[in-house]
Every structure is written in C-alpha cells, then in structure tokens.
Chains A and B, each alone.
Chain A
C-alpha cells in the first residue's frame, strides 16, 4: 500500500532540486496505519495534505538525490537503503547524493532501533527506483518515437538497442517529470541476478568524511549565537532541587548564568530530568561552572534503591512461583516424579549504553517554534517530546538529524533535546546541551537487571522431559507508565516465551519487579539476559548428561518445524507469523555451520583453551556463535577467535552486516567482561570508563569470522542479533577451558586463577 507520486513541480522541494528535475515521492503507510485503514481499502489516505515522504530525484545534470530517512549510528543504513533505490533505478552510485531527512511522521517510522530498517523499507525503496526507471524509459521512447518495450537501461542511461541510441538520465529528467507515475502493476523489478548493489557489499557514503574528521556529528554542531550548557541533574531519579548556590559558578570565566529546569511529572518518559543548568561561552566553562555549583537535593523515594539489596529480592522472586507466560504439558507432574533434576540461577546487572559520543543536542526556540540539531535515533520522538515540554505543536519542531557517534538505543530517548529546547526558550539563544561522560553513565536509561531461575528434569539420553524457567526484571515499560510490575510482551518475547526447544513439558514464568532508575532498551534488549540463562543452562545440561554441547543443543532445538506461538500472543518483533515464522530448521542450520566453521570437536585445543556455543533467534534473524577462549594461570582470558553464522534472510549490504556482527562480538565482550552498573541509595556508583570499563583492543576477540547464510527469505534484523548468543557462548567456553561455571555477569566479578 505504498504509493509513488510525481513531485517534480511541487513547491516544497524548491531549493533542493533544480527546475526540470524528476522527483518521485513514495507515500509510505506504516503497517499499523494500514491495518487501521483496511476496512476502507481503496480509499485515499490523507490526500488533503500532500508532502514528500521518501523521495528520489534526478537533476538535469544527472545527479540522483535520495532521501535517507533513517538515522546513521554506524550500521551503514543511511547508505544501504538508498542503494536499493539506486539499484532498481539502474543509477550510478557515484552520481548519487544523499539528503538526510528531518523528522516527520509522514516518512513512516524513523525510529532507528529494533533492527527493522531494511525489512520495513526494502519494498518501497525498490518501488520508487523502479517507477523512476520506467518513467525515464518512457520519456526516451517518446523522444525517439519507438515503443517503450524496445528500450532498456544501462548504467544511468536509457538505450534503444535496435538503433544504438542512448540518452543519459539527466537529459531525460525534465521530460520524465511530465509523465504520470506508473502503477505498481506496470513496474518491472530487476531479477536478483541483475542486481548491481543489493546483496553486494558497500562502504559507507560518509566514509571519506569519517576518515578525515569532518564535522558530521551532533557534537560538532555550531550555530550562530549559540551558548553551551552543562546540567547538574538530580543524583537520584525523581529528585528535586531544594536550594542552590551558584555564586562560585558565576565567577568562572565564560559562565553567563544558571537556569533551573523543573523536575518531570511521572512517568518520566523522555522528559528532562530537571536540575540546574549552567550557561556558558564554551563547553569547558559550562563543565567548570557546574563543578562549582552547590546544590541541596531532595532525593525522594528512589533513594531507597540499592542494587545489591534489590538483587537479593529479585533472586527470591524467581525461587517461587511467578506469573505463567507460556505453558505446555505439566512440568510439575514430571518434577514430582523425581529422577535427574537440575536447577540453576543466573543474574545479570544493569548496563549503561556508553556510546562514544555522549548525548548532545542543539536547539533554538524562536517565535513559538523550535529548530533542533540532534544526534538522535528518533527525530519524531524529539518533535513530540520537545513539543510536549514547551506546549507547542509537534509540527513546529524541526529536527535535523546529524550522524550519531554510537547510540545503542540511548539516543532513541530525546530527554537531552528537550533540555536544549527548554533552555533556549529561557535564555533566548540557541543552546547546545553537552552531556559529559559522567552524565552519560550516571543518568542513563539503563539496561535492566535480571534474575533467572531454571529447572529441568532429564529423561533417558539426558534430554529434558520438563523445563521450567522464571525471570524477573524491571520492565522498560516503567519509563512510560507508573506502577508497571511485570515484563511486557515485547521483553518476554525476546528469547523467553519464544524458547525454541523441543520439550514436551515447558513452562515460562515472569516475576514481579518494579523500577527505581530509568529503564531503557540497549542493543538486543531482553535477549541479553534471556539468552544468557537459556543457552548457559543448555550447556550445563549437556555436561550433566555427558553429551557434546553442539549435539545436545541440536537435540534441544529438535526436528525442523515451525513453532506456532499465536495462542500466547507472541509479538514476533511485529513481523507476521507467515512471513517470519520461528523456523527451527534455520536455527539448526546456523548451529551446524558455526560448529563446522569453528572446527568444533576437530581443532586441537591446548591447555587453558576451550570453545563454547550458543544459538539464538532475535529480531527475526537466526544466529549461532562459537567463542574460543584461552585462560592463563592468573585467570586472564583472551578470545583468539569467534565464529558467527547469520541467517538474516535477504541481505542488502553484506559488508555492513559482517561489520555489525564483528562489532556485536565486541559490544558483547564489553558487557560480559566488565559491564556492571550498580546503585547505592538511588545514586549510580559508576561515572566514566575507569569504573565502567569497556573492551579495548586486547580484550576484544582477535578475529571474528562472520558467515552469512545465502537466503531469499524476507530481510530481517542485523544491528542487534549478534549480541545475545555471544555472551553465553563466551561463558560456556570459559567452562570448557576451566571447569568453572559462571552464572552471573560480568566476568570481572569472578576469579579464574588456577
């Protein structure tokens, strides 16, 4: 239900295109809107207000301009999606210019998280490219007075093979712009064998700029008359300023003034945290001025939160019966019979995102409107949150999207952009809010802590006949509503209720837990703790049963089949069960391939070495990972090699997907080795990379080999699914190397010395 329209003579693109350019826009209707409109099929949606959504344009000089409407944080999506348009258009990529889109709901979702950019936009990108190509062909045919069917395209040109004539796209743009847009039924898509770009690796459009230090990031934005702000946030979530003394602050050279920001009204969502802002002439003066502030805080009820105490409560919770979220057969009856019973508890702490570029935003409020430049994954959320905070209309917030210096889910939450807009309104100038690393670590939307309890009864051959698993974690939904006590379907559907094992008696439970810090989503979200527990336990059972972990895992996954979870309302990452079933044959295949590639059972491993495996489906992508470790006498762990096999359906940019899975292994290494955020009396204990260490070159896997399964299945996610299987595979490898079973993250809490 996408619709391609001719925008060539629309006034709103003035300035972007020259006269005579061919410009096509695709009106993209989000799936949800489509569903709502289904009874009205055929009706014209929103015709009154026309606006270019996704667009492709061809200038008379042949330059092709394509809108990049997703945020670029390193996944290469800003490059990969426009290449789909360019492919169907038969355009020369070296003549393509990208135009980063501002925030606007009419683009469809711009929320660049959840690993869904390609799967959601692949088709509409193809349609746009194919429509423009057909119009160019028709324009040429008219010029030559030949049937369009006799014409075809070569790179960036239309040819008429019978007469040997050829016209470049630029020469045809003006004529094509006057033609009606072809109907979808008329479009001819390239067969995959003729793809120039889809499925072929590509470097980032921005590569040169990134290697030469060009000002591309939110942190690099500077606008005329801009002042800088650093904010002293309440140390405890929900805290308020009791009183403050800024006399020393105001003596700092370069500091102009201080401004109080009101505390939020629960739920906090994307509101500003409140506090005292220091306005200055440069970032350094703002930071210095903030250091000199004397603030007395009213910390409020969350000062009761100490994570070590909370951990005990979570662990108690999962030792008792919890809310049943999936139930098959009767595990209790099997457990009552006795036999070989295995139990284990797992625990994972809070994590901070710690993207290299901390949150940063510039905003200018003027005459009831805001213009913002934000390092954001979600410009529409910026519009909404800023509009809400300032009491203006969403349409009156223009959000320019910069490149992002990493994000990992943090930059979907635009509280820092709200701060910039609020401050700009108060000081009457454009304001740049820069979060220090300390702000970033201490005031994040944290990845949830989680406690898991698993219990299995093993039958003959050591295979489980009953499996019980309980988890408890404060839900990220607590960010959007008060009194949230249980995991949301979205979280429980990330590696918990969708456990793909072939076990006749299976029960999944979820325990009560409330949040005391801001909880948010972090690269692969609940899959991190769920996969850690499930895939560690699978490995434990293999060893109890005296079986090879790969063989055992394959037996747990069971025969090739489709697992139907419609009856329990499984969300399936918003993918349909028909297009994106849980297909165990694909999970088996990546498992077998990863083991093969790693030389599982064949490679000779020396003293202190071990291999571990884990397989996990997330974001509709199937991944298996084998980690090899080397542990020395002092307990130091190195990771010489990682093998990952990925089945993500059709892959648009395999080079970017390989990079994502190499990167995911390092991201997962960080959280597995040292990732731990704790709180004492509501205050986060960590502050910077010395007490929240992340993997450095020597800590990271020496090499990660990524194999992408050739597939014609619909495209699936790539940015996140590399993370979940890595962590259990890593810890399973440590067990293989040392005989020590670690059931709690991170590794730094354990001593592996011989």
Chain B
C-alpha cells in the first residue's frame, strides 16, 4: 500500500536530513504506530505519505514514495486526496465549512462524486463514527473529541485506503481520546483501512498497533512488531517499562497482558515494605483560598472552592475539560475574574498576606506566577535572549538571579539567538516558566503543561518542577495526564463541575478509582505502587 524506497528528506535550513535512507513497505489494513522523540522526522514521515512533504512544506525528497501505486513526486496532495486521508492535531484548524454534514461532504465535493453517492456516504459515515445526532450542529459548538471524530469522518467519506493521523489525541482529555482511538481501531478492523498514527501517549495505543515505526534521532527509521520495538526504545509506556524491569518476554503491551505476567512480581513485592508516601510535613501555607467563586453569566465555573497551597508541595489539579481548572488557576493568580471568596498569599519576606487580585499586575506576578495553557501567548519578541532581557526588566531583578540563569537551570542549552517559535514544546514551556520565575513568585501555577509533550519532555518537566519545590516554591499543575501525576505530584485535587471532589496524597486519590489509575497501579493492584521507579527502588532496596 505504502512504499518508501531509499527516502531522504532534508530542509534547506537544517544541517542534517530529518529522514535518511528510509525503506518501508506497509501492506494493506495495518495500524502502524509512528514513534520518536519530538523534533525527529515523525511529522515529515507522515507528511511524505500524501505528498505534503515536499509539495506543501518545501524541502527536498530524495528517493521514491508510492501510495497505492501513485508516485508522490508526480502527484500533488490534492491528487492523492482519494487515496490518503490526513487528520491533524487541531481539528478546528482544518475545518473548511461550518456544520458537521457539510464538512463530511466537503472532500467528496472536491472529488466530484455524484450527489446520490455523497448522500449515502455521509449517512454511512455519520453512523460509523456515531455522529448522527450531531449532523446539523455547528462545528465550533462540538467538544474536542467530537470535533476530532468529525475530522476523521470528513476524510473517510472520500473512501481513502490510507489514513494518516498526526497526534490526533494530543489536545484531548482522556475520555475524548478514548473516543477517538476507539473510532480509529474500529476503522482498521471493519474497513481494512491502513492507518499511520503518530502519538505521544503510547500507553493509549500501543496495544492496538500491528507494527511500530521508530524514527531515530539520526533520521533512520526502523520497522518492527511492537513487542520487539520496545525492547530497546527510549520512549516506552509504563507497562512496557515494567515488563523490561521484570524481564518479561514477550513484553506485555496492554495492562491485561502485564497483569497475567505479573503474578510472581506481585508476590515478591507484597513481601517488601510499601513505597514511602511523601509524608505531609508541616510546611507553612503560602496560599489560602476560601470560597472562591468564578462565574461567566449563568454558568458557574468554580463553586466556592477552598484550597491551601503549602511550600515545597507539588499539587496536581485534575478533572475533565470544562470542570473549572483553568478558571480556578486564573482566579488564584488574580488576573482572572473572581466573583466571591478570598485568596491570601504570603510573600517571600513573611510580610502581611495579600490578595493578588487587589494588587497591580506586577505585584500579583511577584506573588503568584502562572504559565498559561498556550505558553507562546507570553512570548512576543524575536529571540530568546530578547525575551529573557525583557523579563528581567519587567521583574526588576527581584531575585538577583537573572532569567537566563533560571532558564539554564530548567533547560540548559537554549541559544539566545534562536526564535521562541522554533523551540520544541518543552523548551517553550521552560522559557515561559523562566520568564514567570524571574519575578520570584513563591507560588507557581501551570495550566496543562503536559499537553503535546513526549515522555522525555515530561520527565524533564518533572525534574524542573521538583527543583522548584525543593527551593521552597509551591507548585500547582492542572493536567489530564495520570502517568505524569503519579510520577511528579505529591498531592492531587480533583475538580468536577467547579467543586473539589477529592483532595489528598497522590496515592490515595488516584488509586481510589481504577479507571484513572496509572498503568503500573493497574498491573500491580492491590499493591499501592504508582510508578515503575517506585517498583525498581523497592526491588533494589530488597536486594541490598
């Protein structure tokens, strides 16, 4: 179906090619998972399948890519539209029309498919993806998962033989992501569509994959069945890391496989002492919020929430999309609306507690730093150096540490001359965090920082945040990512419908509901292990 023959792709501004001598042959009806660190040639590989690379993006492609017998060098993406369907990360950015039905028909209109056929295919696709009740709805009114399913449906109506999905779930909450991935696997099984899927959250998809294409940092691509691919890979979901640690063969890909293999390990661990819970130490309360109320018109986003943030504590704020996480963060920072309640923040020098909402923006910033969901909203200058210098001017050198030093502490090796937009997602986040830390706030809030980060970047983020809490900051992170929470946070607060429904040590809160437990916990349940690191530490201690 898809053949890559000695394909190399290089861009003029880059020193080395992003893909080098790629040799692939993907037969019909396979679900191929494309993995690799951020910045590797994953997107280029996917783009090459329908000719967006190099026709749309520029760059040079050596070798030959053929899809269903058509050479992408001779066929532009629009001429491959009937064979390859492409779905991107942000469904809203790719919509051309305004209602679900029109969007499903758009591709077929371009292909000049007869009206009677179009009508039939739209109905079929509405049923296939469970969109029938939404058919007349405006696209911007749909939830993220629904939008992504519409985006998939809108390319499916053209009956492509190949579906290319570039991180289709990175902007979705876990439920919406499940919805989309279920739709994709159904397509593979029912229609025999060949699917090429890039995804950061491997734990969600690896069990469905028929094979794994690993894009390495040097641009080479290796192609192997999933169990073999992850024997060595640096990026792997926790269930596989656990398998590697315990030496299981073949490596388990799903929680079910791992649970079956994990009997002896569970027994061994049951005899060992449980992992240390981070003991709640009597640290001073830095931020005390009482009965915080945020409402937009008649909708109450945050309903009388009480929250204390202590020094040296990393708290995760969880909850589905729309549960009021962002609104709460903005209200705590003082920049967002707050219709009721009080927020009292103690400053660095132990002076009288102040309400950031009543201070100037600069004053609020010195008490509470917030990195918004889109960190690039904070950035507007041409170079990293200029941004950092501007941050130092804005904060008036409150710490004595320049933002450059802070950034080097968080993520070393970001050149001062590089453009902020050219950085990777993790580096952008580090830059935004450094800018906010330049004002030396003791409370640091991050809104969905894990979105779009791969395992390594997430690990780096965990490192950065732990450094902050060791310095005595208090960090509050809103996130959907259970694995990240299990590895990083000491305390979890769960919001639903604007109210706090759970608040306690990470272990207690996330082990309480099996659906939201991390993979390690699911495999080792009822033992209270959350991460592979805890397991390996326990084992190492027992061997001593």
Same assembly: no
Q: Which residues of A contact B (CB under 8 A)?
A: none
Q: Which residues of B contact A (CB under 8 A)?
A: none
